[in-house]
């Protein structure tokens, strides 16, 4: 065969391919030329690689469907959509979390709220409903000489009636 340092297998294929692409050193170029001059198997492989290279180079180059600016604009538009979607998720999730916390907090602190306390105060058994249609429950002064009724804020009218 020949006196080159490469076995006739994958190494030879790689060396011939690099030779066709112009990627060999001057020493390797000389070895490939000696190999092609002496080895018919290497010559056949070289011709097949050369034919493959010519076929690849003769293939038509497809035209891109989109210009680079269209691709760039599309990518940025998609990124903007994803950002808006993430913002909506964060805001919606935050609103749900606040609602849940407020609901849970309301369950545990419901008795402390004055509105709930007013609604939940039980009535005493001694208390009865008093309705005054024609006569007032409290004697009202008729003349200016009579003493006026002094009612302070926070004092119940029923407490005033029951006082001695």
The three state secondary structure string of the chain is CCCCCCCCCHHHHHHHHHHHHCCCCHHHHHHHHHHHHHCHHHHHHHHHHHHHHHHHHHCCCCCCCCCHHHHHHHHHHHHHHHHHHHHHHHHHHHHHHHHHHHHHHHHHCHHHCHHHHHHHCCCCCCCCCCCCCCCCCCCCCCCCCCCCCCCCCCCCHHHHHHCC
Q: How confident is the model at residue 107 (pLDDT cuts 50, 70, 90)?
A: confident
Q: How confident is the model at residue 90 (pLDDT cuts 50, 70, 90)?
A: very high
For the entire predicted model, the pTM comes to 0.37
Q: What is the pLDDT of residues 66-85, one digit of tens each?
A: 888 999 999 999 999 999 99
How high is the pLDDT of residue 79?
94
């Amino acid at each position: 065969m020949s006196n080159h340092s490469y076995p006739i297998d994958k190494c030879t294929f790689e060396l011939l391919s690099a030779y066709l692409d112009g990627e060999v050193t001057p020493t390797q170029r000389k070895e490939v030329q000696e190999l092609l001059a002496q080895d018919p198997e290497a010559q056949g492989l070289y011709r097949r690689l050369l034919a493959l290279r010519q076929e690849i180079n003769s293939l038509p180059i497809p035209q891109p469907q989109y210009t680079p600016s269209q691709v760039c604009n599309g990518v940025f538009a998609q990124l903007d959509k994803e950002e808006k979607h993430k913002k909506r998720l964060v805001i919606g999730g935050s609103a749900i979390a606040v609602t849940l916390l407020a609901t849970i907090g309301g369950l545990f602190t419901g008795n402390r709220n004055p509105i709930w306390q007013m609604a939940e105060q039980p009535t005493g058994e001694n208390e009865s409903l008093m309705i005054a249609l024609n006569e007032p429950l409290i004697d009202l002064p008729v003349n200016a000489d009579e003493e006026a009724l002094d009612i302070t804020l926070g004092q119940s009218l029923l407490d005033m009636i029951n006082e001695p």
